[in-house]
């Protein structure tokens, strides 16, 4: 894994996912080298459906990443690429399969169809946010799968609710039920899954827990949505920049996500 590749991954994450990049900086240096390729992969896959209006091209972009994961999973020589090359050095065969679920879920982003039902919406958030956190955590150390999926779902939901205005501006239907009561219930469900994950912190190794620093804003965002669901449509969720810095600093120093 070259420093040049790591620098390229860091630039991708800093530009495309600044909050997660901040969480990486709060982790130990050795953890950063493993987290950055995984998060850079996520940035590339997440944006692939949005950089073109041609569905065929978007499908081909996602397939390119699936083929790259196949090379890692099958132990083949991987293609030379600033993200794929370092990713192959940190990703297990098992977690290459986990991230393949993330790519499959992202196919929904190519089209403008609404979610089929609440189960489909839940699966999308879990297969994107949950799969990403699971792979990231296990690249660092032992981690219970259900804990990562619960926390990752909550993180994905918080990010999704903050993105609602932008998604609707793109003529998307981001929620199965956008009524305030339904949004409140959805946020409460996310908070319950986050609480379940936190109650089992002891089952996450100290090394793997560094990946969970990315969840540092989740309870604030989901609590806001649960208390005042109208803030979702108003684009008024989230922490101040000062609150972000202080909150992440505290969690980084305490190790309590």
CATH number of domain containing 190: 1.10.600.10
Distance CA 194, CA 153 (A): 8
State yes or no: pLDDT of 90 exceeds 80.
yes
> Residue 145: what pLDDT?
97
Where b means 16+ CB within 10 Å and e means fewer, 43-53 reads bbbbebbeeee
> Residue 242: what pLDDT?
83
C-alpha torsion 224→229→235→238, nearest 10: 10
> Residue 183: what pLDDT?
98
| Mean pLDDT across 101-119 | 96
Distance CA 234, CA 123 (A): 26
Total domains in the chain come to: 1
Averaged confidence pLDDT in the chain: 95
Distance CA 84, CA 68 (A): 7
Give the residue numbers spanning the domain of 181: 3-254
State yes or no: pLDDT of 158 exceeds 80.
yes
> Residue 43: what pLDDT?
98
| Mean pLDDT across 201-228 | 96
| Mean pLDDT across 32-54 | 96
Cβ atoms of 135 and 144 within 8 Å: the answer is no
> Residue 243: what pLDDT?
83
State yes or no: pLDDT of 208 exceeds 90.
yes
> Residue 1: what pLDDT?
73
> Residue 247: what pLDDT?
84
State yes or no: pLDDT of 226 exceeds 90.
yes
State yes or no: pLDDT of 256 exceeds 90.
no
């Amino acid at each position: 894994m070259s420093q040049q590749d790591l620098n390229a991954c860091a630039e991708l994450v800093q530009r495309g996912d600044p909050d997660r990049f901040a969480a990486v900086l709060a982790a130990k240096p050795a953890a950063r080298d493993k987290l950055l390729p995984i998060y850079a992969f996520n940035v590339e896959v997440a944006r692939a459906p949005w950089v073109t209006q041609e569905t065929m091209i978007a499908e081909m972009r996602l397939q390119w990443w699936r083929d790259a994961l196949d090379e890692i999973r099958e132990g083949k020589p991987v293609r030379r690429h600033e993200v794929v090359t370092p990713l192959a050095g940190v990703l297990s065969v098992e977690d290459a399969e986990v991230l393949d679920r993330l790519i499959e879920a992202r196919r929904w982003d190519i089209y403008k169809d609404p979610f089929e039902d609440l189960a489909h919406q839940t699966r999308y958030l879990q297969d994107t946010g949950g799969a990403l956190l699971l792979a990231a955590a296990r690249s660092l150390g032992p981690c219970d799968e259900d804990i990562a999926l619960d926390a990752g779902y909550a993180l994905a939901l918080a990010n999704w609710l903050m993105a609602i205005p932008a998604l609707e501006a793109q003529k998307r239907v981001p929620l199965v039920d956008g009524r305030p009561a339904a949004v409140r219930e959805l946020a409460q469900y996310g908070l319950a899954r986050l609480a379940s994950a936190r109650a089992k912190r002891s089952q996450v190794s100290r090394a793997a827990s560094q990946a969970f620093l990315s969840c540092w804003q989740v309870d604030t965002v989901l609590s806001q949505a649960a208390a005042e669901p109208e803030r979702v449509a108003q684009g008024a969720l989230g922490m101040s920049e000062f609150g972000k810095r202080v909150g992440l600093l505290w969690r980084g120093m305490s190790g309590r996500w």
